Amino acid sequence: MDRKARISDIKRFAVHDGDGIRTTVFFKGCSLKCVWCHNPEGIGFRPQIAYYENKCIDCGECTQFCSRGSHRLTGAGHFYDRTSCVQCGECAAHCLGSALIYYGREITVEELLPLLLEDRDFYETSGGGVTLSGGECLMQADFCAKLLRRLKENGIHTAVDTCGFVPRESFNKVLPWTDVFLYDLKAWDEEAHIRCTGHSNRRILENLRYLDAKGASLELRIPYVPEYNDDQMEKIAEFARTLNNVRKVKILPYHRYAGSKYDALGMENTLPETLPEDAAVEKIKQLFDI
């Protein structure tokens, strides 16, 4: 599979995934399952179809191209049967109203690279570049390494956005070609991390220490989710001060904007109800001297 990657999206003119104007490639599949995940289409590795009912114009194109009869137009409207769908993506490719979106396209480096180089001028004038994200992009580390190497050969600044929950070898594969790691830290206490993500954070902390010791440039990205990791912020800040190569820290206040994605994908919506207050966010920023 390393000759091709499975991706969920390519976002041009991104401004929140590293410095400057960037193109972000979102890879499919994640090693964690955060309760507040705002990219649920990136959790699973297999392709998925999202159906946004409010965008459907009842054109019937999907019924013409679905070999399994998963889409039907009735007097009550458009009916999509997920149980018979094989996620081939034909319906989304022919949807006239953008009501159907296919997450899980397979692509080669040779196909992807020209798309990423299209905005080279914007990267150069803004100090931007290309960011690999997810899901967890380093679950497809061999592909990432090949792509990053080709980007560096073309003089493009590169960033890897990672949760850190991957084997050490995955980092070794991309280290030579990565200008900065955007590294997520969700909790310090192992029990809290398990509650938030379903997994221990031991490997995550070990990998972060390893990257720091290797002299990798680091940007720590810390989601703040009330009632889940409120009590972890001081501990994370204390740990961050022990690292030598942190160039920036970003606090990411939790939001619920992804609710419609869960519904469209037919996934259980695990998003917490409580939103952060501005005063609490500012207090947390002060912990990190932001």
Domains of the chain: 4-46+109-287 (3.20.20.70), 52-103 (3.30.70.20)
Residue 245: both structure tokens together? 């190569």
Rounded to a whole number of angstroms, the distance between the first and last alpha carbons of the chain is 41
pLDDT in tens, 201-224: 999 999 999 999 999 999 999 999
> Which amino acid makes up residue 176?
P
Specify the pLDDT at position 125.
98
Residue 193: both structure tokens together? 């991390």
- Rounded CA-CA distance 45/103 in Å is 10
Specify the pLDDT at position 75.
85
CA within 13 Å, CB half, 98: 0
Instruction: Let me know: does 113 contact 156? Beta carbons within 8 Å.
Output: no
- Rounded CA-CA distance 15/58 in Å is 35
Hey, CA dihedral for 228, 163, 109, 87, is it positive or negative? negative
User: What's the CA angle centered on 217, arms 43 and 3, to 5 degrees?
Assistant: 45
User: Residue 177 to residues 114, 123, 151, 160: CA-CA distances in angstroms?
Assistant: 18, 17, 8, 10
DSSP strands (E only) in 15-123: 22-27, 48-51, 71-74, 77-80, 100-103, 105-108
Instruction: Let me know: does 3 contact 102? Beta carbons within 8 Å.
Output: no
Confidence grade of residue 2 (pLDDT, cut at 50, 70, 90): low
pLDDT in tens, 99-131: 999 999 999 999 999 999 999 999 999 999 999
User: What's the CA angle centered on 110, arms 106 and 113, to 5 degrees?
Assistant: 95
C-beta atoms surrounding 213 within 10 Å: 11
Q: 88 in helix, strand or coil?
A: coil
Residue 1 has pLDDT above 60, yes or no: no
> In the block, which residue shows the tokens 């392709």?
47
> Which amino acid makes up residue 146?
K
Confidence grade of residue 290 (pLDDT, cut at 50, 70, 90): confident
Of all residues in the chain, the percent with pLDDT exceeding 90 is: 97
pLDDT in tens, 16-75: 999 999 999 999 999 999 999 999 999 999 999 999 999 999 999 999 999 999 999 988
| Residue 137 per-residue DSSP state | G
- Rounded CA-CA distance 50/265 in Å is 4
Average pLDDT, the chain: 97
- Rounded CA-CA distance 261/278 in Å is 25
Record the pTM: 0.96
pLDDT in tens, 162-203: 999 999 999 999 999 999 999 999 999 999 999 999 999 999
- Rounded CA-CA distance 99/81 in Å is 15
Hey, CA dihedral for 108, 111, 115, 120, is it positive or negative? positive
Q: Are strands 100-103 and 105-108 parallel, antiparallel or unpaired?
A: unpaired
